[in-house]
Amino acid sequence: MERAWIEGIVAGDESAFEALFRCYNRELFRFALKMTGSPDDAEDVVQAVFVAVWQNRASWVIRSGLRVYLFAAVRNRILQDIRNGQVRRRLEPDVLTFSTGYPSAPFRSPDQMVQQADFAAALAQAVAALPPRCREAFVLTREHGMTYAEAAATMGISPHTVMVQIGRALAALRKSLAPFLVALLLVR
């Protein structure tokens, strides 16, 4: 599938481009939102990455997997925008939580929703408070299900360093979420 999309896009096939967009845009947006803390900035970055993919299609070379390539493209653009002062880090809790916990089928009781939303919101806040590299490593591996190697390729660092960052992230999150974790462990 990926091969076919890449070949299609290089050949100027719009439907391959749209298929690529449909497949990855949502998770790239969630990642960009976690990185920037701003839905507008995240939206801007994701759109810019897809525009660049289409416009540079003729000279498009994908060495890693497509998904890692797109995540890395989003990440690099955000870092570049931050350097250029076009993106400010705005990690306000309400911005980060607006997209969490909306009930999807099957329906949950309001009580369950509140409990789940509580943890999701607290987690989002705690993740937002992590140092940038820690946060990235955690978000990529845990929230986007990447392997350590994929996260390392995305971030342009070694898998060893990814593990160190994840270990640090977990230690910090455990401390800030201790009240929740005590309750969750008691419940189970």
Partner 1 sequence: MSDDLDPRILAKWLLGSLDSDEQRVLDRWLAADPARAVELAQARELWRRAGEVARAQAVQPDAHEALRWAGIIGRIREQDAPPSTRRTGRPLTLELPRRRRPVERWVAAAVLVIAAGGGLWALTHHGKERQLAEVPPPMRTYETARGERAEFRLGDGTRVMLNVASRIRVPADFGARVRDVYLEGGAYFEVVHDSTRPFAVHAGDIVARDLGTEFTVGAYPEQRHARVVVRQGLVALHRAAAEDTGGGATVHPGQQGRLDDGGTPKVQRADTTAEFAWTGGTLVFDGVPLRDALLQLGRWFDLEFRLSADSLGRIHLAATLTNQPTDDALRFLAASLGLRSERRGRVVTFYPAFDGSVP
Where along the sequence are the contacts to partner 1 (CB under 8 A)? 14, 17-18, 21-22, 25-27, 29-30, 39-40, 43-44, 46-48, 50-51, 54-55, 93-94, 97-105, 107, 109-110, 113-114, 116-121, 123, 138, 142-145, 148, 160, 162-168, 170-171, 173-174, 177-178, 181-182, 184-185, 188
Rounded Cα gap, residues 37 and 97, in angstroms: 10
CB of 64 to partner 1, least distance (A): 21
Closest to partner 1 by CB, 62 or 122: 122
Give the ranges where the chain is alpha helix by DSSP (H): 2-10, 14-36, 39-55, 66-83, 93-97, 110-128, 132-138, 148-155, 159-176, 178-187
Closest to partner 1 by CB, 4 or 184: 184
CB of 110 to partner 1, least distance (A): 5
CB of 4 to partner 1, least distance (A): 19
* DSSP character string of 20-56: HHHHHHHHHHHHHHHHHS-HHHHHHHHHHHHHHHHHT
Closest to partner 1 by CB, 63 or 164: 164
